[in-house]
Amino acid sequence: MHSPFITFVQLGFDHILDLNGYDHILFLVALCAVYTFSAWKKVALLATAFTIGHSLTLALSALGIVRFPGEIIEFLIPVTILLTAIYNVMHKNNGTSENQQLIRLNYLFALAFGLVHGMGFSNFFRSSLMPGEEGQLLTQLLAFNIGVELGQLVIVGLILGISYVAFNILKTKQREWVVFVSGAAAGVALVLMLETKFW
Amino acid sequence: MKNKAICLAFLLVFSVVWLGASLPFPAAHDIHLSKCQITFPVENTLDLKCHIWLDDLTAALVLNGLGDPKLLTPGEAPDANTILMKYLFSKIKIRVNGQLIQPAWVDKKASEDGLAVWIHLQAQNLGKVKTVSVTNELLRELYRDQQNIVHLKGPGSRQGYLIFEKPGQQESINF
């Protein structure tokens, strides 16, 4: 039998890593596609911006301050994936350049899209709350967020590991890699958008 | 050039949205989670309350050959509660002190958002509870990633959570 804290860490971790609901994974894939393993510090900052975004909307919803319609959010999540993928292909930044304007724009994207993903997390989180346990809400919220962060670390680590193999062992050109990964993410995002249409 | 590309990108998104509006794809929710609460209002009485999504529950009942009882609608089947108990007992097994129990029907009600049903069952005269074993395979026939959470409160001050996500998983707690 687990404590509420451990239970909600596990629920958050399992939720973001759920291969049957892979939209959050796909967003992180698209977000990290333009970065090499050596740019891990920038990826860490990007992931932090994404975390700030999704933590904010998750907390607002969990505390009952705002409510988000699940069907619209499920549609908007693949929209964030598609826009990130399109942005990757459109700009020529190679992930190691010091173009500050582009980097700032990336952080802004990650933060704004994090808000949307947090709304998605909140619908799952709220549906896992037990009646009569309202006093535990903050603990459960913190634990769920920690679980999501741990899962996010695993995903980003895997993505950077795969891109390391692609660049350093398979000698893939970076631009080809970015177009390949972003194209795949965009294609899946389009399908998800069609499957989750809300009107 | 860059502005042209941005216009093209948003045109693409707009086209997909329009396409989505004109095609008959079903809406989907991806929350494959049920939650149950087991409490002991008095020492020898066990309360079981389960929250299950209505669309998933209906699909599971049909898949198990129990039919669609049109739950919580004006046309609800007269034997809807019996059907629900039959399904619940085939998926949730609770043993108290090693003995399999089958709690009696109390009531059911729609969740606040109307998307799920809360089912309330109760078992009385259990004697002093020393061990509780639970298996919960609700909706696993529908989704591989189905998670079933059980919140166990008491008897006494002991409480905690069980997460069921593997076939045949059984959890036992000693008091």
Secondary structure (DSSP) of A58-118:
HHHHHTTS----HHHHHHHHHHHHHHHHHHHHH----SSS--HHHHHHHHHHHHHHHHHHH
Q: How many CB pairs under 8 A join A and B?
A: 92
**C-alpha span between B50 and B121 (Å, rounded):** 9
Residue A194 is nearest to which of B20, B37, B143, comparing CB atoms? B20
CB A74 within 8 A of CB A134: no
Give the pLDDT of residue A53.
94
For A77-120, the pLDDT digits (tens) are 999 999 999 998 987 655 555 567 777 888 888 999 999 999 98
Judged against a pLDDT cut of 90, whether residue A184 lies above it is answered with yes
Would you place residue B154 in the very low, low, confident or very high pLDDT band (cuts 50, 70, 90)?
A: confident
Mean pLDDT over the full length of chain A: 89
Judged against a pLDDT cut of 90, whether residue A1 lies above it is answered with no
Averaged pLDDT, A167-173? 92
Tokens of B11: 């045109």
Selection from A8-22, A51-65, B92-106 with the highest mean pLDDT: B92-106
Q: Which residues neighbour B14 within 8 Å (Cβ) at sequence distance 6 or greater?
A: none
Which SS3 state, helix, strand or coil, does residue B17 take? Answer: helix
**C-alpha span between A164 and B106 (Å, rounded):** 59
Mind telling me how many Å the CA of A4 is from chain B's nearest CA?
6
* Residue indicated by tokens 């409490």: B39
Averaged pLDDT, B118-147? 93
Residue A194 is nearest to which of B25, B32, B143, comparing CB atoms? B25
Give the pLDDT of residue B21.
46
CB A131 within 8 A of CB B37: yes
State which residues form the domain around A53: 4-195
Judged against a pLDDT cut of 80, whether residue B52 lies above it is answered with yes
Mean pLDDT over the full length of chain B: 86
Averaged pLDDT, B58-63? 96
Averaged pLDDT, A120-139? 88
Averaged pLDDT, B22-30? 43
Averaged pLDDT, A20-42? 89
Amino acid at B61: L
Contacts of A199 in chain B (CB under 8 A): 21
Averaged pLDDT, B140-163? 90
Mind telling me how many Å the CA of A104 is from chain B's nearest CA?
18
Distances (CA, A) of B97 to A128, B165, B172, B173: 28, 24, 10, 10
B165 touches chain A (CB under 8 A): yes
Mind telling me how many Å the CA of B101 is from chain A's nearest CA?
20
Nearest CA in chain B to A15: B31
Mind telling me how many Å the CA of A82 is from chain B's nearest CA?
8
pLDDT over 70 for what percent of chain B? Answer: 83
Mutate to test the interface with B, among A13, A93, A127 (most CBs of B within 10 A): A127
Would you place residue B24 in the very low, low, confident or very high pLDDT band (cuts 50, 70, 90)?
A: very low
Cα–chain-centroid distance for residue B151?
A: 13
Kind and range of the H or E element at B104? strand B104-110
Judged against a pLDDT cut of 50, whether residue B101 lies above it is answered with yes
Judged against a pLDDT cut of 50, whether residue A22 lies above it is answered with yes
Judged against a pLDDT cut of 50, whether residue B96 lies above it is answered with yes
**Phi, psi for B174 (deg, rounded to 5):** -100, 140
Judged against a pLDDT cut of 80, whether residue B20 lies above it is answered with no
Judged against a pLDDT cut of 70, whether residue B76 lies above it is answered with yes
Residue B149 is nearest to which of A90, A128, A131, comparing CB atoms? A128
How many structural domains does chain A have?
A: 1
Contacts of B17 in chain A (CB under 8 A): 193
**C-alpha span between B23 and B110 (Å, rounded):** 31
Give the pLDDT of residue A58.
92
Tokens of A150: 């741990």
Contacts of B173 in chain A (CB under 8 A): 1
**C-alpha span between A12 and A9 (Å, rounded):** 5
Would you place residue B26 in the very low, low, confident or very high pLDDT band (cuts 50, 70, 90)?
A: very low
Judged against a pLDDT cut of 80, whether residue B88 lies above it is answered with yes
CB B66 within 8 A of CB B83: yes
Q: Do A194 and B16 touch (CB under 8 A)?
A: yes
**C-alpha span between B100 and A105 (Å, rounded):** 60
Q: Is B87 exposed, middle or buried (0-12, 13-18, 19+ CB in 10 A)?
A: buried
From the list B61, B39, B62, B65, the residue with the least C-alpha distance to B50 is B39
**Phi, psi for B26 (deg, rounded to 5):** -75, 150
Tell me the domain boundaries of chain B: 31-174
Q: Do B16 and A193 touch (CB under 8 A)?
A: yes
* Residue indicated by tokens 């994404």: A50
